[in-house]
Chains A and B, each alone.
Chain A
Amino acid sequence: MSNRTQLTVSPGPHVRSKESTSNIMFNVVLALLPTTLTAIYYFGSSALMLIIACSITAVATEALFQKLRGIPVTIGDFSALVTGLLLALTLPPELPIWMAIVGSIIAIALGKQVFGGLGYNFFNPALVGRAFLLASFPVAMTTWKLIDVTSSATPLGADNPTAIALKDLFLGRVGGSLGETSAVAIILGGLYLLYKGYIDWRVPAGYLGTVAVLTTFVGKGGPIFHLLAGGLMLGAFFMATDMVTTPVTKKGRWIFGIGCGILLVIIRVYGGLPEGVLYSILLMNMFVPIIDKYTLPRAFGEVKING
């Protein structure tokens, strides 16, 4: 019969907020801009190449995987770009491009698409990529190009942490991964995301706060050094806050942030590895389903009647 459609019927509500997934992801890319630019400023063309290679590979891998599965290609939501960019920012500037490409493929394929794509992964894809590279090519992944500092390692690997000026740490004039060096650029982006409401302040607050408190008592260097050194800032603002791989409950986010902080200090101070941001977040990612399950907020009116 003829189609006489006139009105639309649908369940309520009939108005929606303007937010969309791609919108959020695009804003994350925006927030990463200062860090990206700083990285290119400090490390030059090699950084640029890594960033481009990772981003393109990530997006291409996502498209390819979805094509293979015969499901709609959703690279337009910017989420693959975010993963590629974040991965690039955690790599050492001198890393061979092919390794970065491998990492990017792994990040998207193994970190995200095998679970069904955006929203279903347990582990932060960028960190999966980095962890894979770190486990595969430990030497290449821990060799740092120097700017004008004499230390041969990241600040955390340095023999005498206090020797590094905090100002340099803050501005990023130290060795390290692309996006880890300049705390000020990261904080700028992080504040933007906080302002826009795209990340929950509880996670970075729990993470950074715990690290600050614990390093006051244990470890060398003191809290300010530990906060600024290594990938903590990047991790706290951009990795640990990844919506997909963090708890959805408020209490859960506190637990997540504090858990990351505790693990980080354990790994940095007692562990065999110089840096633990990556692992602290990945480890806590595993706990997310359990945290979510057991931190249900008290539903409105949930009391014992007669109690």
Chain B
Amino acid sequence: MKARTFEQGIHPRYNKELTAGKAFKLASQPEEVIIPLQQHIGAPAKPLVKKGDIVNLGQKIGQATGFVSADIHASVSGEVLAVEKVNGSLSVKIKNDFEDRQDESIKAKGDLKDLSAEELKDIVKEAGIVGMGGATFPTHVKVSIPEGKNVDKVILNGAECEPYLTVDHRTMVEQAEKVIYGLQALMKMVDAKEGYIGVEVNKPDAIKSMQQAIKAEDKISVVPLEVKYPQGGEKQLIKAILDQEVPSGGLPLDVGVVVNNIGTAVAITDAIQVGMPLVERTVTVTGAVKNPQNLIFRIGTPLSQLIEESGGFIGTPGKVILGGPMMGQAQSNLDLPATKGTSGILVLSKDELGAYPEAGPCIRCARCVDACPAKLLPTALVNLTKADMNLKLQDYHVLDCIECGSCTYVCPANIEILQWVKLGKENLQAELRKSE
């Protein structure tokens, strides 16, 4: 079967061999966790605890405010040290007593067959599950299908096209049953008839493992995908698997699809089978660290500790990136905690980075045009943004940019295309708001 894919895109070096063969390891628990009350897209949660409170593992410490928001739970048991702003975001600091006293609310929710779609959605909402691929969109919102929309397919995103990262890969190899269970739960929630799991063909063991797991299933199929970035982009994935284009400005819902990450499916499984809310997740710690590996950590563990856990830096660290090298974010402060959205910690050494290349003039080579998976004209977008012609950006569909960074990756003139485009998007949106 030929690997399916979308049009355009790029082929960066994947560097997944660093950790692809390494099974998950439990990271040691930190002395103190810092749990931000906003680890998701949407409104921050409202704190339910105050300084001095004693909390249990899995206890809800933050209440979602509004629909697009997610609950926050304690990832260790212990005493609340403070509820204060850390790096601009209100957080709960808990001193770990290492007892792992489970909260009484944690209990198995029953069999999937017996649970209704509504009950399942409530379980997801109560467990504070968000998109684990890094986008951290609250999952219960995603599975709440608005009136009039009909969803018949659920896609699990196992493409993992970000270089370096291997968490989804390992999850599929090690926890195939949980993945399938989660997918079935998702299908039940949205009343979908078909389920797909898209996996890039560079993970043959994952494909094999998943195929093994769906043997008894006729509604679910595993789709091998071409190795190309950004294959895991929601819209690109749908295009590859179903050959359908999500309309500009629309959502996967508009073509009857819900896309979720492999990790999300596993988190749902845990929430149903064990009743444990989202208090730990998996992360690939890789790059210039002595022992690159895949870890399972408690949410709120400081980044520095996870790096220490992996043997510490090799040489002088240049960049520490949360997520992958394409869409991840460089950090300036390693005391900050890893959160629900932290799928990777990538260390790039100073030597690897080299000197920062000065941006030259655009030579109109059109590499960005040929790479853009959204088929935009990045070079024109940069020019228009620079010239402050914000409304014109609309004619060039700037809002369809998925911010994958392919344009910047290929630019021979080293122009920060993506950063300009993001600015342009911001400008246009501001302009549109003004004219409303």
Contacts and interface: CB of A to CB of B under 8 A. Distances in A.
Instruction: Indicate if A touches B (C-beta under 8 A).
Output: yes
B377 A248 contact: yes
Contacts of B410: 17, 19
B38 interface: no
Interface stretch (B81-89, B109-117, B244-252, B267-275): B244-252
Contact of B364 (A13, A17, A244): A244
A16 B409 contact: yes
B397 A8 contact: no
Nearest to B6: A300
Contacts of A6: 317
Given A14-B325, A298-B375, A302-B400, A7 B366 contact: no
Given A14-B348, A243-B364, A300 B330 contact: no
Contact of B361 (A14, A118, A300, A303): A118
B404 to A, nearest CB: 8
A24 interface: yes
Contact of B377 (A20, A24, A249, A301): A249
Contacts of B400: 299-302
A12 B377 contact: no
A20 B374 contact: no
A100 B102 CA distance: 85
A303 B247 contact: yes
B396 interface: yes
A82 to B, nearest CB: 11
A14 B365 CA distance: 21
A8 B365 CA distance: 29
A138 interface: no
Contact of A13 (B325, B360, B374): B325
B318 A7 contact: yes
A21 interface: yes
A305 B348 CA distance: 43
Given A21-B412, A24-B365, A13 B248 contact: no
Contacts of A119: 360-364, 413
B379 A248 contact: yes
A13 B361 CA distance: 19
6 contacts: A16-B411, A118-B360, A292-B380, A300-B400, A301-B249, A301-B250
Interface of A: 6-17, 19-21, 23-24, 74, 77, 79, 116-120, 198, 200, 243-246, 248-250, 292, 296-303, 305
Given A6-B317, A245-B364, 5 more contacts: A9-B331, A21-B413, A74-B360, A200-B366, A248-B366
List the 7 shortest-distance A-B pairs measured between CB atoms, nearest first.
Answer: A13-B405, A119-B361, A248-B366, A299-B397, A19-B412, A11-B419, A300-B374
